[in-house]
Amino acid sequence: MKKLTSIVLCLFILAACDSRAKEERLQQELNEKTFTTTSYNYTPYDIYSIAFKGISLPFNVDEAPSGGSIFFRDASEAEMDNGEKVSFSSGNCCFIWDSPVDKPLRVRVVWSVVFDTTYHDGKSSVDYDERTSRMSAPGSRWCQATVDILPAKGPERPTIVLLHFLADGTVQAHLGTFKTQAPLAAEQVKLHSAHLPQGQFCKQEIENPFYGIPRTPHRE
């Protein structure tokens, strides 16, 4: 009887060890697929609520991975190779990358251009409800772009999606690492430095993507 009990106990221990090893392996696989996002703003306007998702997937702005917001008044700054400063937002979580990292991934990027913070943050926005209005908030416009996230350069496995919002309305994206994340080269930025026509804030404006989406109840 003691021998049988010992065998059963050993089987339980082996099963527990196998389960723990499997859990650790799955967690490691998830970690390798999980990317944060850093977004750079080369435009003259603040950028609010960047979100993006694979182009083939249903898009819900509430559930899409975040690229952060970039308001000049409190944004971090990085230096380009010509010494000019560019504002950015980093550490935004989380994008699950299920595709091979050595192949481009096409995504839909959505963001709000805040061209007048006085209207956007002031009394004009007091009665605005993004869940019930098709229009953008006062002083802003919602935009979208289809973007290919390009593979990283270098041997290290990438961990970050880098988004670059340029003055002519172009959005570029590529993978990188904590060590390699940086603004675009000044010459590349210069190629996209032509400003959009007056009154136009991006290449494709859209309705407010939060319209009609119920708020998620707060959980205490």
Give domain status of residue 169, yes or no.
yes
Q: Per the domain annotation, does 185 fall within a domain?
A: yes
Q: Which amino acid is at 81?
A: D
Number of domains forming the structure of the chain = 1
Per-residue tokens: 180? 């390699």
pTM of structure:
0.86
Q: For residue 89, what are the domain limits? A: 35-206
Which residues, in sequence order, are CB contacts of 4 under 8 Å at separation 6+?
A: none
156/188 Cα distance (integer angstroms): 24
* 160-174: pLDDT as tens digits: 999 999 999 999 999
Do the domain assignments include residue 158? yes
pLDDT tens-digit readout, 15-27: 555 666 656 555 4
Res. 215: pLDDT tops 90: no
Give tens-digit pLDDT for 200-213.
999 999 999 999 99
Q: How far apart are CA 6 and CA 82, in angstroms?
A: 71
Query: Closest Cα to residue 208, out of 117, 137, 134?
Result: 134
Q: What are the DSSP calls for 51-97, one per residue?
A: EEEETTS---TTTSPEEEEE-TTT-EEEE-TTS-EEEEEEEEEEEE-
Residue 10 inside a domain? The answer is no
Q: What would the pLDDT profile of 64-113 be if each residue is shown by its tens digit?
A: 999 999 999 999 999 999 999 999 999 998 999 988 999 999 999 999 99
**Does residue 211 lie within any of the structural domains?**
no
Cα separation, 46 vs 118, in Å, equals: 12
- Is residue 190 included in any domain, yes or no? yes
Whole-number Å distance between alpha carbons of 57 and 72: 32
Q: Please tell me the total number of residues recorded for the chain in this structure.
A: 220
Looking at the domain assignment, is residue 17 inside a domain? no
Question: What pLDDT sits at residue 39?
Answer: 98
Is residue 97 a part of any domain in this protein? yes
Structure confidence at residue 220 (pLDDT): 37
